Chain A
Amino acid sequence: MPDQTVLSLRDVTLSFGPKVIQKNISLDVRKGSIFAVMGGSGCGKSTLLKSMIGLLRPSAGEYRVGDEDYWAGSDAHRTDLNHRFGVLFQSGALWSSMTIGENIALPLQMFTDLKPPVIRRLVELKLGFVGMLQAIDLYPSEISGGMRKRAGLARALALDPDILFFDEPSAGLDPITSARLDDLILNLRDGLGATIIIVSHELSSLFHIADDGIFLDAKTKIPIAHGSPRDLRDTCTDPQVHAFMHRERDDEEGNT
């Protein structure tokens, strides 16, 4: 079933108190796709991601995970749904008082009945996927930013989630590391059959990996385009989107 919808938002409004961040967001994420959330700085990309992983309740609208209404159930129900999610935070968000291995083992210890040796093997496996096995006994403060991000990715994979959220995965990484991360994301998507939602404004990586997406506008506070970054680049006529996709300066839109 290639077109099965995993996540969907209907007319969602996000706001902090009276301050509206984005309104009328509607989107469907297909199973196995890599869905990009795009937009300029301050348009609410990360806020949208926050609400999709359950950290911010939308002030209006409906959010469905699979065929369940995410915000309708109890907290416990939401926690269960969250176990289908794996989240890579912007700077890794590794727990600094634990080694990398312990970081990945913690969710397994908390939410499965597996024995320590089995957990150890799974931790090694997840670190092997991201090429970080040698850092298993190091603390987050002892490794570089790029490694921290990869370790964060390994932790996001800990519970074999089928939906992965990446917040700016390539921010702060050099082009080579970032390209490798892109390949890794594609491999993981194909290998695990996961669906990936990615917040980014790294155009090259978006063109390379994303096959669907949404473009949020900071001024009007509504989504102004839907589609894969490649299609938006080639066909979208909206001057804002055009400027973003072609790295043009946004002097006064449409003077080109």
Chain B
Amino acid sequence: MVLSGTWQARAGTIPVFPKDGLPKTPEGHLSFQTSGIQAWDTGLIAFLWDLKRVAHDAGISLEMQTLPGPMRQLLELLPEAPDDPVHHKPFRIPFLEALGRRSIASMTEVGVVSELAALTAKGAVQTVLGRSRMRLSDLLANTSDAGPYALLIVGIVNFLIGAILAFVGAVELQKFAAGIYVASLVGIAMVREMAAVMTAIIMAGRTGGAYAARISTMQGNEEIDALNVFGIQPSTYLILPAVLSLIITMPFLYLYGCLIGMLGGFVVSISMLDITAAGYFHQTITAFGIGQFIFGFVKSLVFGAFIGLTSCRIGLKAGRSAADVGIAATRAVVVGIVGVIAIDAIFAVIADVLGI
């Protein structure tokens, strides 16, 4: 075989050696004449590899010594009959089976999260008894991140929600000369629903996503394995401070959100309607009883625990690559937001039954 000219893949193409390019000749030999080659790169080796495979199938042996040293050395690295690549077999599961698997998987997940919650609660009890391995510094760090640092964004969102409620209410209630009831509307809506839900959604996006990303990165770095080997329970060491910090900060953020939301409603009402500040204040405090407050308060506690537990669980379950960290963070945020709204709906039904 005589090769000549320029053989550079960078120039655009690599010629393909046809699969039936060599006749079946057992015991045949093929030698090379390469003096005409001016320049070559790995494109030439790719072509020679083709040839090598075809020659192997045809039973022809190549006289490697007729190739220049570098080409020979590269070509010798390459297998003449390479193994087939491992493929991911796309396999299809029948619909019912898929549905069943999904259902079992989600039930299992509920079980695992409950177990994790139980472990975390156990860790909390041990902490109270002074036998736990949770470090106070971790709790403080988590709490300051989930509390004071979240004030600004929680404030902005709740202020705007209160203002929007007041706008909507003012436009409609003014028609009935009932402008003063904007105060009741904003007050009840904030205390009963909006402050708790909006704050929880913000915390799910902000803190839940961060927990999931951090724990899944630790997972990828084998840090969780290291904790387990030392006998340090990740549920006590990592998850308890995370969940606890949300349980501690959420009620405060809820109260703060209520106040800021009412302030938003107040600003809009005073500027849009013919209401005095004292009138708005009076109407607000007579609008709802302590029961509404407790209802919102309990909800915010539950939301905090839910966000903390699910995001930590998602982080622990994540795979070990960089892409998996992104998936875990996204999933934590989505599950957090959807879950908060779903739990809120359950609370609404319970409240309706109990007549709160």
Point out residues on A near B: beta carbons under 8 Å.
Answer: 95-97, 112-115, 118, 121-122, 124-126, 128-129, 131, 133-141, 157, 160, 184, 187-188, 190-193
Contacts and interface: CB of A to CB of B under 8 A. Distances in A.
Contact of A134 (B83, B319, B322, B324): B83
A159 B343 CA distance: 55
B73 interface: yes
A228 B104 CA distance: 63
Most buried by B among A124, A128, A137, A193: A128
B279 interface: no
B46 A122 contact: yes
B78 A135 contact: no
A137 B88 contact: yes
B87 interface: yes
Interface string B312-339: 0000000111111000000000000000
A15 B46 CA distance: 43
A122 B42 contact: yes
B86 interface: yes
Contacts of A141: 319-321
B18 to A, nearest CB: 14
A133 B42 contact: no
A96 B77 contact: no
B86 A193 contact: no
Contacts of A121: 14, 46
Given A115-B13, A190-B70, A191-B74, A122 B43 contact: yes
Query: Which size bracket describes the interface of B in this complex?
Result: 20 to 34
A97 B323 contact: yes
Given A137-B87, A193-B70, A126 B42 contact: yes
A141 B323 CA distance: 11
Given A118-B13, A122-B42, A134 B85 contact: yes
Interface string B87-103: 11000000000000000
Contacts of A118: 9, 12-14
A191 B87 CA distance: 31
Complex A-B, nearest 4 residue pairs according to Cβ-Cβ distance, in ascending order: A96-B321, A191-B74, A97-B323, A191-B73
Contact of A187 (B46, B73, B79): B73
Nearest to B88: A137
Contacts of A192: 42, 70, 74
Contacts of A137: 85-88
Contacts of B70: 190-193
Interface of B: 9-10, 12-14, 41-43, 45-46, 49, 69-71, 73-74, 76-79, 82-88, 319-324
A132 B84 CA distance: 11
B12 A113 contact: yes
6 contacts: A122-B43, A125-B42, A133-B85, A157-B42, A191-B77, A193-B70
A127 to B, nearest CB: 9
Given A122-B43, A133-B83, A187 B320 contact: no
Contacts of B321: 96-97, 139-141
B93 to A, nearest CB: 21
Most buried by A among B83, B321, B322: B321
Contact of B84 (A95, A131, A134, A139): A134
Contacts of A122: 9, 14, 42-43, 46
A184 B77 CA distance: 8
Most buried by A among B45, B70, B71, B85: B85
Given A125-B46, A128-B49, A112 B86 contact: no
B86 A114 contact: no
Given A135-B86, A190-B69, A160 B41 contact: yes
A129 B74 contact: yes
Nearest to B78: A128
Contact of B79 (A131, A190, A193): A131
A157 B10 CA distance: 14
Most buried by A among B42, B69, B73, B324: B42
